[in-house]
Structure 1
Amino acid sequence: MSDFDDESTFEDTFFTISRSSDGLYKDRSSKFFYFSFPVKNEEEIKSHLAELRKKYYDARHHCFAWTLGKDADQFRANDDGEPNHSAGDPILGQIRSNNLTNILIVVVRYFGGNKLGMSGLIQAYKTSAAQAIEENEIIEEQVKAAVSIQFPYPVMNDVMKLIKTHDLQILAQEMTLDCQMQLEFRKGLEELIVSSLEEIEGLELTVI
């Protein structure tokens, strides 16, 4: 049996959340509205942050943390005016303790008139982030890879057989003088898929 026959050997999966969610945590008259979002890039993160700032324009603080990438090697934590490390880091800590990535958590605070102190703030933001995760659903996702292929009609059966065998997803296709497709599959299969496609006569391949 080759390594490709056992998909459990692939290190191409990660844990994230399945959907957007929100809720409210209160502590001594301060309100902490928390939000969690599954995200794939910084553009999505900026969009969510902008929408929340527009909707909750009168809030004193919009604190957040996010991670991106299979190994969560891209990340940021922001205190947004709260004392250093009292908000963003506790939020990020909850993301990491749940081994999550491709996630954004935002906690919007309305000050209630009573100061919570450093430990109180840390606890409030930590609890808000924890509830944002707890009230969502953690799922396992696969890192994806994709290729663009072009091939003559006579080898269509060979291509479709490969697509069916490895359950490849057709992202786009165009049938003109030749056939063109964009295929997506789990990253752990990339070497096998590319080498198998390259064996098909007349097929041209580009890794996207």
Structure 2
Amino acid sequence: MSEKENFLTIKENGDHEIIIKKSKFIASLARTNNPDEAEAFIKEISKKYHDATHNTYAYTIGLNDDKVKASDNGEPSGTAGIPELKALQLMNLKNVTVVVTRYFGGIKLGAGGLIRAYSNSVTKAVEAIGVVKRVLQQEIIFSVAYPRFDEVQHFLSENDIFVANTEYGVDIKISVFLDEKDVDDFKDKIINLLSGKVEFQNGEKRYNEIPIKDNNFHEQ
């Protein structure tokens, strides 16, 4: 598993509105896994706000920004779509499409003002919606006897390990998800905790979502 397979994206689809010098800017964001989904979202939002002055947009698809596109939709060249795309990229977001709708308020902003307005509308919308880190993890399944469950549960809680499932039968079967690089260390610690009386099974690999709380996306 490569660390590059872990990536940041928005927590959920949503929108956020700001007013700058009487112009209304509405940033609508969606998770999109391919250009077709991105184009469909752009079309949907442009139809929703068909009476707007402009519906500008940008998207980035793929873990290495493999597919990107930006449109100023009638604003001066380079003042809307590209600043929106750069805002997404500065926050290290992947597989996201943004449409920023503008209702002109009568006061011209100038090229610099437009760039700041479109960029800020994206950044503030992302901060309002939230960001998650999608992490490719391995499921590990093991069983413990009832008398040992409390100490295992305490260990899992103390180490912030994601417990996916707990089944109560003859023993207690626990399913956890871990980054692959942490699997061997986890097994060693559980073996030590239970004095070697434990067997492990590998389950599925899947992406799990971890909330990013401090908006410090550059460190992720």
Which residue of structure 2 lines up, in the alignment, with residue 191 of structure 1?
Answer: none
1:59-92 Cα shifts (integer Å, max 9, x gaps): 1111111101111221111111101110011111
Alignment partner of 1:140 is 2:133 = yes
Q: Secondary structure at the match of 1:130?
A: helix
C-alpha separation in 1, matches of 2:69 and 2:136: 21
Which residue of structure 2 lines up, in the alignment, with residue 168 of structure 1?
Answer: 204
1:36 Cα deviation after fit: 1.1
Alignment partner of 1:34 is 2:27 = yes
Gaps of at least 5 residues in structure 2 are 138-199, 208-220
Which residue of structure 1 lines up, in the alignment, with residue 210 of structure 2?
Answer: none
For normalisation by structure 2, the TM-score amounts to 0.61
CA RMSD of aligned residues (A): 2.0
Q: Secondary structure at the match of 2:133?
A: strand
C-alpha separation in 2, matches of 1:42 and 1:109: 23
Gaps of at least 5 residues in structure 1 are 1-6, 145-163, 170-184, 187-208
* 1:19 partner letter: E
Contact residue 70 and residue 143 of structure 1 kept, 8 A: no
The percentage of counterpart residues that share the same residue type is: 34
1:133 Cα deviation after fit: 1.0
For normalisation by structure 1, the TM-score amounts to 0.64
Which residue of structure 2 lines up, in the alignment, with residue 55 of structure 1?
Answer: 48
Residue of 101, 107, 112 corresponding to 1:108: 101
Q: Which runs of 4+ in 1 moved over 6 A?
A: none
C-alpha separation in 1, matches of 2:106 and 2:99: 21
Alignment partner of 1:122 is 2:115 = yes
Which residue of structure 1 lines up, in the alignment, with residue 87 of structure 2?
Answer: 94
C-alpha separation in 2, matches of 1:120 and 1:10: 38
1:50 Cα deviation after fit: 1.4
1:142 Cα deviation after fit: 4.4
1:49 Cα deviation after fit: 1.2
1:166 Cα deviation after fit: 3.2
